[in-house]
Amino acid sequence: MSGLTIFFVIYAYVAILFFIAGFLYRIWKYASTPAPLKIPQTPAPVAAPGVARRMVAEVTLFKSLFNGNKIIWLFGYVFHLGLLVALLKHYRFAFDYSPSWLVYLTTFELYAGLIMLGGLMMLFLLRLVVDRTNFITVMTDYILLVLLIGIAGTGLLLKHFYRTDVTSVKEFVLGLVSFNPQEMPADAFFIIHITLVFLLLIYFPFSKLMHSGGIFFSPTRNQVDNARDKRLVTPWAAAPESIQIASNMTQEEG
């Protein structure tokens, strides 16, 4: 096994470990953070089924982004559609068998790749030219967009201009999945592409990409608007005697 293969096998497992551990840790932090107030964004549903419908609309249609800024919504939605097709397309590298519908879907991968790359580039441009968006943009936003553009761009180059040996790529990925490492294809563009992908996996839990999991824990989205019907009792409000004790201590100290 070559030194290149050994390096990328270790790099791959470290990246996956960072991604899984970091993602689960952030989800645990979201889930364990108390929501002391009823703060659903109005108009909000007054029953649990309405919350479920609202969350489905947020996840599938980005409804609040559409209501807030339709231009950003358009390019963001286009990017996510292209990303979805790209992820489905890469399914075939990690498994021996690919269903027929997935094979058919790969016929549109050029358009999906162009849509994904175009959406990312427009989102990058909007952060430069729109004053309000530029004002709230920090350097990590640009770094993340550049990283995603690099992944999408090298993926398109690999598929349509600088073709690599797909069989070798699949053998390498299947080897990682089955914990039976195979030789890493020594193709420059593939090396760049997979290096950026693993870097994204490492960076994912520490970036704004965690909105993919955090949206389910957003109190402005997942709360029922029933503050007038049912009191929200926080853990520390459930023990009034502790509040009385703290109040007495404050008075004595005064």
The reported pLDDT for the residue numbered 43 is: 86
Q: How confident is the model at residue 93 (pLDDT cuts 50, 70, 90)?
A: confident
Domain of residue 139 covers 3-253
Q: How far is CA 120 from the centre of its chain?
A: 14
What's the confidence (pLDDT) of residue 254?
Answer: 46
Which residues, in sequence order, are CB contacts of 68 under 8 Å at separation 6+? none
For residues 232 and 89, give the distance between their C-alpha atoms in angstroms, rounded to a whole number.
Answer: 45
pTM above 0.75, yes or no: yes
**Tens-place pLDDT, residues 74-84:** 999 999 998 99
Q: Which of 58-62, 76-80, 91-95, 145-149 has the lowest mean pLDDT?
A: 91-95
| 112 confidence band (pLDDT: 50, 70, 90) | confident
The rounded distance, in Å, linking the Cα atoms of 120 and 152 is 9
Angle at 174 between CA 172 and CA 180, to 5 degrees: 80
Q: Report CA torsion sign: 94, 99, 101, 106.
A: positive
- The 10s digit of each residue's pLDDT in 226-237 is 877 777 776 666
**Nearest 10 degrees: Cα torsion 191, 196, 201, 204:** 180
Helix (H, G, I), strand (E, B) or coil at 39: coil
CATH of the domain at 92: 1.20.950.20
Under 8 Å CB-to-CB from 62, ≥6 apart: which residues?
Answer: 73, 76, 77, 80
pLDDT number for residue 212: 92
pLDDT over threshold 70, residue 59 = yes
Q: How confident is the model at residue 159 (pLDDT cuts 50, 70, 90)?
A: confident
Contact assessment for residue 101 and residue 71, using Cβ atoms and an 8 Å cutoff: no
Report the 10 Å Cβ neighbour count for 168.
Answer: 16
Q: What is the pLDDT of residue 244?
A: 52
User: Among 2-11, 39-48, 185-194, 242-251, which is the least confidently predicted range?
Assistant: 242-251
What's the total number of domains in the chain?
A: 1
Average pLDDT over residues 80-93: 87
pLDDT tier for residue 149 given thresholds of 50, 70 and 90: very high
Please count the other Cβ atoms lying within 10 Å of the Cβ belonging to residue 109: 19
Average pLDDT, the chain: 86
pLDDT recorded at residue 236: 64
Per residue in 168-221, pLDDT (tens digit) is 998 999 999 999 999 998 888 999 999 999 999 999 999 999 999 999 999 888
